[in-house]
A = this chain, B = another copy of it.
Amino acid sequence: MGVLVIGSVAFDTIKTPLARSKNILGGSASYSSVSASFFSPVNLVAVVGNDFPDEYRQLFKDRKVDLTGLSVKPGKTFSWEGEYGWDFNDPKTIATHLNVFADFNPRIPREYKNSEYLFLANIDPQIQAAVLKQLTKPKLVICDTMNYWIENKRNQLLRLLKKVDIFLLNESEAKQLTGENNLIKMAKAIIKLGPKTIIIKRGENGVLLFSGDSVFCIPAFLLESVFDPTGAGDTFAGGLIGYLSKCKTFNEANLRKAITYGSIMASFAVESFSLDKLKSIRNRDIERRYKKFKQQISF
């Protein structure tokens, strides 16, 4: 069955100190589904407008991402415009046009309903909950979110968190959600909200896992140049769930490897705009970087 990914497919317009791009393929479900596809079969549920080009559709097909669940609605595809400073941290949002995404009410195709591995990529927590309800026997549910939902749909997010297995968020979101300043305190506060496992993404400072009494902590793979950090967190999540789906057995050892693969996938994503780098790599490139990373943190 592989992985079911639900989230946004979007046009991104991005400015970094190094370059700019206009209406390139983006969105949480785009990055995560393509990333997961290196490890498992992937089914995508999202919505686009009738302006969505065949070229972008082909990119998913080339990665064997199943598009049965990609609905096309009259109107324009969701678009986002953002700008990064030299620190490449959280971008400044210039514009968000929901377009066809405004009325997104996903119906999960019948053949996806018994999916076991579900990634609820960053979208409205009410939509995430509506999708989860349609699955008959989810085995592992991973959920991401963003500052906007923590601020504007906190209650809906809190209800959803009681039903997810792994909750992903970045450090500033964890701070926003809990009011804590310390990573361990943030994780302890979030675990009380429901999820047994918390992953805090820290961008170039790496990633942290809190699961029961266990802590796992790795730095990011070091790059000499970061081109565009957009989609790094989604790409991380795709690698994570893709690898876990491939393993089938969910345990701490596999979870740690999955986090490392997710982190390696993200390191590729940020080397180009959009999915340009992800579409150019092969599994051997991933394995090579995974080994190099392991060597870089060994003592």
Chain B residues, CB < 8 A from A183: 222
Are A208 and B222 in contact, CB atoms less than 8 angstroms apart?
A: yes
Partner pick for A219 among B181, B206, B225, B226, CB 8 A cutoff: B206
A216, B184: Cβ atoms closer than 8 Å: no
A193 within 8 A of B: no
In whole angstroms, how far apart are the Cα atoms of A298 and B257 in the complex?
Answer: 9
Number of copies: 2
A219–B215 Cα distance when bound, in Å, is: 12
Chain B residues closer than 8 Å to A208, beta-carbon distance = 222
**Beta-carbon contact of B206 and A296 below 8 Å:** no
Interface presence of A185 (CB below 8 A):
yes
**Interface set, chain A 194-253, CB cutoff 8 A to B:** 202, 205-206, 208, 215-219, 222-226, 253
Residue of B nearest to A188 (CB): B224
Decide yes or no: A297 and B224 within 8 Å by CB, A86-B181, A181-B86 being known contacts: no
Bitwise, A159-187 to B at CB < 8 A (1) or not (0) is 00000000000000000000001111100
Interface size, chain A (Cβ < 8 Å) = 30
Whether A224 lies near B299 (C-beta < 8 A) is: no
Which residues of chain B are near A86, meaning CB under 8 Å?
Answer: 181
Q: In the complex the two chains form, is B256's CB within 8 Å of A298's CB?
A: yes
B299 engages A260 (CB within 8 Å): yes
Complex CA–CA separation, A253 to B183 (angstroms):
30
A259 at the interface (CB under 8 A from B): yes
**B216 and A296 contacting across the interface, CB-CB below 8 Å:** yes
Interface string of A260-282 (1 = CB under 8 A from B): 10000000000000000000000
Tell me whether B224 and A215 are in contact (CB under 8 A). no
Q: When the two chains form their complex, are residues A185 and B224 in contact, meaning their CB atoms are under 8 A apart?
A: yes
Instruction: Identify 16 residue pairs between A and B in the complex whose beta-carbon atoms are under 8 Å apart, listed by A's number.
Output: A182-B225, A184-B222, A184-B223, A184-B224, A185-B224, A205-B205, A206-B219, A216-B297, A217-B222, A219-B219, A253-B299, A256-B298, A256-B299, A257-B299, A259-B299, A260-B299
